[in-house]
Chains A and B, each alone.
Chain A
Amino acid sequence: GESVGLHLPTLSVQEGDNSIINCAYSNSASDYFIWYKQESGKGPQFIIDIRSNMDKRQGQRVTVLLNKTVKHLSLQIAATQPGDSAVYFCAENEQYSGGGADGLTFGKGTHLIIQP
Chain B
Amino acid sequence: SAVISQKPSRDICQRGTSLTIQCQVDSQVTMMFWYRQQPGQSLTLIATANQGSEATYESGFVIDKFPISRPNLTFSTLTVSNMSPEDSSIYLCSVAGRGNQPQHFGDGTRLSIL
Q: Which residues of chain A have a CB within 8 Å of any CB of chain B? A: 34, 36, 41-46, 49, 89, 91, 98-109
B48 within 8 A of A: yes
A89 touching B43, Cβ below 8 Å: yes
Can you report 6 A-B residue pairs in the complex whose CB atoms are below 8 A from each other? A34-B103, A42-B108, A44-B92, A98-B100, A101-B31, A104-B45
With A46-B1, A89-B42, A89-B43 in contact, is A100–B96 under 8 Å at CB? yes
B interface residue numbers (CB < 8 A to A): 1, 4, 30-31, 33, 35, 41-45, 48, 58, 92, 94-108
Q: Is the CB of A101 within 8 A of B96?
A: yes
By secondary structure, the B interface counts as loop
What residues on B are CB-neighbors of A108 within 8 Å?
A: 41-42
A108→B108 CA distance, assembly (Å) = 18
- Residues of chain A with a CB closer than 8 A to B96's CB: 99-101
Known: A43-B105, A89-B43. A103 touches B99 (CB 8 A): no
A44 near B1 (CB under 8 angstroms)? no
CB-CB under 8 A for A46 and B102, given A101-B31, A103-B33: yes
